[in-house]
Amino acid sequence: MTRKLEELSPKEMLALAISIEQSNQKALHNFSEMFNGYDDQVSKNFAEMSVEEGRHEQILLEKFKNMFKGPVPEISNFDVEEVVEAIDFDDSEHLIFDSLKAKQVYQLAYEAEKRAKSFYEKAMKTVKNKELAVLFKELAAMEGDHANWLENKIK
């Protein structure tokens, strides 16, 4: 059963943010691998973006460790009603590498970064913990910067 973002506890909100960053880091790494040897600059761009998502995950994990005891609860973007950040292909035929163009993948990443920014902005307003609200505000700004960079790549 899905829940609204507002219904999540601070612990669950942080766990969701960690899950999203992990997912996108993996997807961006896969994009980097797919373009490796085919378009090395695009591969490098996605590799750098993957590393950045990994940094976000580490920041969130560190915050989780400092705030809560025990393991990070399992929660994903499928557990909440709102679409969050997951990078997704709308059309399975894009999974065939020969038809996958850099611009299409940049567009997918751009849309995911916009959703990430929106998620962090909602989380910032929803969470009652001021420390988490500040962190989510910072992450919203970072994701906004990523979206702007990707928007320029698409043009």
In-domain check, residue 42: yes
Residue 24 C-alpha from the chain's centroid: 5
Phi then psi for residue 76, to 5 deg, are -135, 175
Residue 115 forms part of a structural domain: yes
Residue 1 counted as domain residue: no
Given a cut of 50, is residue 93 above it in pLDDT?
no
Of 2 and 66, more confident: 66
Alpha helices in 5-154 (DSSP H): 10-35, 40-67, 102-126, 130-154
What is residue 92's predicted lDDT score, i.e. its pLDDT?
39
What is the domain-level CATH number for residue 22? Answer: 1.20.1260.10
Number of domains in the chain: 1
Question: pLDDT band at 94, cuts 50/70/90?
Answer: very low
Average pLDDT for the chain: 86
100, 39 Cβ separation under 8 angstroms: no
**Residue 54 resides in a domain:** yes
Q: Identify whether 145 is part of a domain.
A: yes
3-class DSSP state of 21: helix
User: What's the domain range around 71?
Assistant: 9-154
DSSP letters spanning 109-149:
HHHHHHHHHHHHHHHHHH---HHHHHHHHHHHHHHHHHHHH
Q: What is the per-residue pLDDT for 73?
A: 92
Q: Is residue 109 included in any domain, yes or no?
A: yes
End-to-end CA distance of the chain: 40
Q: Answer whether residue 3 is part of any domain.
A: no
Structural domain contains residue 13: yes
Q: Which two tokens stand for residue 57?
A: 């995950």
